[in-house]
């Protein structure tokens, strides 16, 4: 149970870090990745496909941010599965895979990839930010586990 809790808390730490970086940098750099726009499009299209009225404006932003935090926390929490020895390597691999997925899966899913692929800088930052999220998750899990074993 302690392992599961540390995985979830670690995944949340990585997801929050990813979103803090994203929200901060996009305010200052117009070439920053806009994964939030991809998420808003996905939420809107998904709700419309179910004949639901999607939120708009700030409500759409908040709903997308909440969904992003939850989905990334759950995804990043898988970093804690497997041997402790490979925790940082898994963090890097799972984070990089998420970033590459953001670049390559948007268009096949029927979403615009422009917010994450418009420039080479945007592409590199997209992968780098998810990589950082994965590494923060791995370090948080490692720290939580070492604290719980030392009690």
Map out the domains of the chain as residue ranges. Answer: 2-149
What average pLDDT does range 114-133 have in this prediction?
96
* Strand stretches in 40-103, DSSP E: none
What average pLDDT does range 3-8 have in this prediction?
94
Judge contact between 7 and 81, C-beta under 8 A.
yes
Alpha-carbon span 100 to 33, nearest angstrom:
13
Is residue 2 very low, low, confident or very high in pLDDT (cuts 50, 70, 90)? confident
What average pLDDT does range 89-104 have in this prediction?
97
| pLDDT tops 80 at residue 150 | no
> Which pTM was predicted?
0.92
Structure tokens at 138: 């791995």
Alpha-carbon span 84 to 89, nearest angstrom:
10
Is residue 148 very low, low, confident or very high in pLDDT (cuts 50, 70, 90)? low
* Strand stretches in the chain, DSSP E: none
Is residue 149 very low, low, confident or very high in pLDDT (cuts 50, 70, 90)? low
Is residue 1 very low, low, confident or very high in pLDDT (cuts 50, 70, 90)? low
What average pLDDT does range 135-146 have in this prediction?
95
């Amino acid at each position: 149970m302690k392992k599961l809790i540390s995985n979830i808390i670690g995944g949340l730490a990585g997801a929050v870090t990813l979103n803090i970086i994203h929200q901060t940098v996009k305010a200052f750099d117009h070439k920053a990745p806009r994964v939030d726009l991809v998420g808003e499009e996905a939420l809107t299209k998904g709700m419309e496909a179910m004949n639901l009225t999607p939120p708009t404006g700030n409500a759409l932003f908040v709903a997308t941010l909440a969904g992003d935090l939850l989905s990334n926390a759950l995804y990043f929490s898988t970093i804690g599965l497997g041997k402790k020895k490979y925790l940082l390597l898994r963090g890097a691999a799972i984070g990089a895979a998420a970033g590459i997925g953001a670049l390559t899966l948007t268009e096949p899913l029927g979403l615009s990839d422009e917010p994450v692929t418009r420039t080479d800088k945007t592409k590199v930052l997209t992968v780098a930010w998810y990589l950082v999220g994965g590494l923060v998750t791995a370090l948080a899990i490692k720290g939580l586990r070492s604290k719980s074993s030392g009690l």
